[in-house]
Amino acid sequence: MAQSPDGGEKMLTVEQVAEEMNVDKKTVRKWINLGELKAINIGRLRPEYRISRRNLDLFKQERETGR
């Protein structure tokens, strides 16, 4: 698991998750708003989300079809 320079878990932006998952940023925000993908909102006036690598990996596992 990637770590930030301060030793904490690496946090990804909505844009980074969208690129990795090959989807639009709106789709990532929809997953967050539906509670399917856990994120931290660091924004003040409008949402600005950060997603941990761990939560993204769990999200991917939950969506696997097993086929």
What pLDDT sits at residue 7? 56
Q: How does DSSP assign 1-37, residue by residue?
A: --B-TTSSBPEEEHHHHHHHHTS-HHHHHHHHHTTSS
In total, the chain counts a number of residues equal to 67
Which residue has better confidence, 8 or 29? Answer: 29
pLDDT in tens, 9-63: 789 999 999 999 999 999 999 999 999 999 999 999 999 999 999 999 999 999 9
Domain range summary for the chain, segments of one domain joined by +:
11-63
Interior angle at CA 15, CA 10 and CA 21, nearest 5: 85
51 within 8 A of 17, measured Cβ to Cβ: yes
pLDDT-based confidence at 5, cuts 50/70/90?
very low
Q: Quote the pTM value.
A: 0.83
What pLDDT sits at residue 1? 42
CATH of domain 11-63: 1.10.1660
